[in-house]
Amino acid sequence: MPTKRSHKTVRRRCIRACTTCKRRKERCDGRQPCRRCVERGVDFDCRVSHPPLRETLSPTPEPDIRAYPHGAEGNQCVPQERNGPRHLRTTSAHIFPQSSRLAKDERGKYMFIGDAANLTFLQNVRRIAHVALGRCAFVDDPLRHHILETYDDGHERLIVESAINPPSKPTSEDANYLIHWYILATNCVLDAVDQHELFQGMSKWLLCSHEEPCETSAIYYLVLALGAQSCPESRDSDAEKYFNFGRYITLMTLMEDPSLVMIQSHVHVAMYLLAGSRRNSAFMYLGTAVRAAYALGLHRLDISALYPTSECLIRERLWKAIRILDLFMSASLGRPPSTTETRDTTVKENYSASNDLCLIFENILAEIYAKRMVSSETLEWISGLHRGWTSRFMECPREVGTQCAERIVTERGEAPNIGLIHLKEAYYWTIMLLSRPTLVEKVSLYASAAAESDCSGMEQLTSSASNDILASACVDSAARTIELLAAFIMSTHVPKRLPFVVNSAFMSALVLGLAIFGDMDRVLPLRCSLSNARVILAKFSPHDSVARRYLTIVDNFQNACDKYVEVRTRRDMDYQSRLIGGLFGSIHIEAPDAGDFMNHLDLNNTNRHGSMDNILLPFDSYDVI
């Protein structure tokens, strides 16, 4: 009996099917996720591919997405270098799904984690690993919905105790030792204080016998705290004493009126908390520094130019330090930036490669992740900014306080040029942020197609040349980052806490592992780079709880990648065997599965001998850790 046809007024039509139903040529109900994806257990990968903007937008004139999102100040408001590569000159745009979430911290509170955050990217990688492998330790991590934060529940008591019993000032030799490690750890990241003035001011401050601390005492105590926190020796107790007293002076004397010293102290507090795995606390202190900077007009170069040259330079140093910390925490936590640049960062006079690079970070967060859209016009624009930055960097690579050599020689030994490493790894990070959505989409579709196919010789998924280049650029930047950070593996004269380095190593490890699930390791040595990323995280894990947590994740991820390569190899062998058998025939008897083989051994050997001892298996057994 034929099915009764519904009237067209009550018939439910699917306007646009999901990508999985399209690929499988099945009827989709249009829901998100749809019924078929829920039944097949791939509801997390159910999404709708959006057509190009020219098909979805109304006939009204399309807004110019190339326009700079800021005000009319500075030459940066005009898009630069619009003549991008030909393979990017299309009019299409890709809208990626929103993946921001609330993550629970150690206290049970929920914190916002945006689309650009490391944890959000990690969750996307876990979804792909689940499609390719199923359940494993990497996918079923019990802390996958948590954000690691180190909390000190008694910090109010410690601040009061430090006010009652302030720490004694160090000797001149010990102070110079701590300043040395402070400069190494914060090179090209926190140049908020001139080094020459810091040594001179510290020497005078140590000779001062006044018991009542002055405003600048907060800066000196915080500098000593950062030095003790990063030095190789175990001086964490000294670091906490200096930090708590410096923070006490800041809270008691530098909270009412905005001033340069107040901004300097808050920036140093934020840097100490960031290196101590207290990112949300650092985020709060930096927010106070940003509001004070806006109150003093540090965001405007024309305002700073009204002051004497010495004070103008201090204001520019502070603004650059605020921008670096703000963009770093905004990108790593996926939160909107608190600062906006109005300068022309490309001028040669007092050029800062760090400040110029921060502008690229800002545009990626504002134009890609805030809008959740990757358009070819935006890619042309931001890639043009990258090309301009690299050309200026090669012409004038010297940053304030940064040398050009790969390694530097100090009075205490030879060490990697951490300032130059900070600068280069940030450049590679911008490329990974820009191209990461394309890599995720490409590997996700590839893993889904591979999981549904019975053979490994399946036809490669078709994709545009621009998408292939973006995915390759993401993987190449990750590999080059690990190659850059490999200088820390054999070096002993390095700070024990470097949050920027730890972040880049972890992000690169995720990109490299994701590329393995896309079979890109067939042509690139990705597994070696992934192992080096693991070694880098292991170097900083004894003293950094965030690095220790990242190391655990990378270990599980590396095991998942090894398991995937093993499954892929067996799948290739089975496919080749079927091809050969189809040509010449086969007399080979298929071996039973591992579970059936173990049951067979258990029945036979237990009945004959009563135990399973001294039984040799014909193949190795692999455990998913």
The tens digit of pLDDT for each residue in 257-290 reads 899 999 999 999 999 999 999 999 999 999 999 9
The DSSP code for 146 is B
Query: Per-residue confidence at 413, pLDDT binned at 50, 70, 90?
Result: confident
Does residue 492 have a pLDDT over 80?
Answer: yes
Percent of the chain residues past pLDDT 70, beyond the cut: 78
First and final C-alpha spacing in the chain = 55
Per the CB < 8 A criterion, the answer to whether 378 and 84 are in contact is: no
- Please name the residue that has the structure tokens 């992740």: 369
- SS3 at position 307: coil
Does residue 573 have a pLDDT over 50?
Answer: yes
Does residue 562 have a pLDDT over 50?
Answer: yes
- Mean pLDDT of the region 563-575: 87
Which structure tokens are listed for 247?
A: 């923070």
- Mean pLDDT of the region 443-458: 70
Which structure tokens are listed for 215?
A: 């405003």
The larger pLDDT score, comparing residue 35 to residue 315, is at 315
Strands (DSSP E) along 277-335, which ranges? none
Q: Which pLDDT belongs to residue 210?
A: 63
Per the CB < 8 A criterion, the answer to whether 249 and 213 are in contact is: yes
The DSSP code for 101 is E
Q: Which pLDDT belongs to residue 93?
A: 64
Query: Per-residue confidence at 582, pLDDT binned at 50, 70, 90?
Result: confident
- Mean pLDDT of the region 550-569: 93
- Mean pLDDT of the region 439-461: 71
Residues 344 and 350: their CA atoms lie apart, in Å, by 11
- Please name the residue that has the structure tokens 């892929």: 568
Query: Per-residue confidence at 453, pLDDT binned at 50, 70, 90?
Result: low
**pLDDT tens sequence across 286-303:** 999 999 999 999 999 999
Q: Which pLDDT belongs to residue 561?
A: 94
Q: Which pLDDT belongs to residue 543?
A: 92
Residues 6+ apart with CB under 8 A from 522: none
CA max distance for the chain: 102
Q: Which pLDDT belongs to residue 110?
A: 84
Q: Which pLDDT belongs to residue 448?
A: 84
Closest among 297, 293, 233, 306 to 261, alpha carbons compared:
293
Closest among 424, 420, 422, 524 to 475, alpha carbons compared:
524
Q: Which residues pair with 102 in a beta bridge?
A: 112
Going from N- to C-terminal start, the domains of the chain cover 154-276+278-332
Residues 402 and 412: their CA atoms lie apart, in Å, by 18
Closest among 594, 505, 502 to 546, alpha carbons compared:
502
Per the CB < 8 A criterion, the answer to whether 130 and 209 are in contact is: no
Closest among 451, 544, 561 to 501, alpha carbons compared:
544
Residues 510 and 557: their CA atoms lie apart, in Å, by 8
The larger pLDDT score, comparing residue 453 to residue 280, is at 280
Q: Which pLDDT belongs to residue 614?
A: 32
- State the DSSP H helix or E strand holding residue 369, giving kind and residue range, or none if neither: none
Q: What value does the mean pLDDT of the chain take?
A: 80
The DSSP code for 366 is I
Residues 619 and 625: their CA atoms lie apart, in Å, by 19
Q: Which pLDDT belongs to residue 598?
A: 39
Residues 6+ apart with CB under 8 A from 17: 27, 28, 30, 34, 48
Q: Which residues pair with 110 in a beta bridge?
A: 104
The larger pLDDT score, comparing residue 602 to residue 283, is at 283
- SS3 at position 329: helix
The DSSP code for 114 is -
Q: Which pLDDT belongs to residue 70?
A: 36
Strands (DSSP E) along 264-334, which ranges? none
Q: Which pLDDT belongs to residue 75?
A: 38
Per the CB < 8 A criterion, the answer to whether 134 and 549 are in contact is: no
Q: How many residues does the chain have?
A: 625
Residues 358 and 324: their CA atoms lie apart, in Å, by 7
Cis peptide before 618 (omega within 30 of 0): no
CA distances from 568 to 127, 447, 453 (A): 18, 11, 12
Does residue 464 have a pLDDT over 90?
Answer: no
Query: Per-residue confidence at 149, pLDDT binned at 50, 70, 90?
Result: confident
The larger pLDDT score, comparing residue 413 to residue 600, is at 413
Residues 544 and 240: their CA atoms lie apart, in Å, by 15
Percent of the chain residues past pLDDT 90, beyond the cut: 45
The larger pLDDT score, comparing residue 602 to residue 248, is at 248
Residues 281 and 257: their CA atoms lie apart, in Å, by 21
Query: Per-residue confidence at 571, pLDDT binned at 50, 70, 90?
Result: confident
Per the CB < 8 A criterion, the answer to whether 87 and 469 are in contact is: yes
Q: Which pLDDT belongs to residue 64?
A: 35
Does residue 196 have a pLDDT over 90?
Answer: no
Does residue 218 have a pLDDT over 50?
Answer: yes
- State the DSSP H helix or E strand holding residue 103, giving kind and residue range, or none if neither: strand 101-104
The larger pLDDT score, comparing residue 44 to residue 408, is at 408
- Mean pLDDT of the region 422-428: 95
Q: Which pLDDT belongs to residue 596?
A: 45
Query: Per-residue confidence at 53, pLDDT binned at 50, 70, 90?
Result: very low
Q: Which pLDDT belongs to residue 98?
A: 67
Does residue 618 have a pLDDT over 60?
Answer: no
Q: Which long-range contacts (CB under 8 A, 24 or more apart) does 444-448 make?
A: 444/45, 444/124, 444/127, 444/128, 444/131, 445/19, 446/517, 446/518, 446/519, 447/128, 447/131, 447/132, 447/517, 447/518, 448/20, 448/23, 448/42, 448/45, 448/131
Does residue 128 have a pLDDT over 90?
Answer: yes
CA atoms within 13 A on the CB side of 306: 6
Residues 134 and 140: their CA atoms lie apart, in Å, by 10
- 33-42, 376-385, 388-397, range with greatest mean pLDDT: 376-385
Task: Give the CA radius of gyration of the chain.
Answer: 28
Query: Any idea what the Cα angle at residue 405 is, between residues 404 and 408, rounded to 5°?
Result: 120
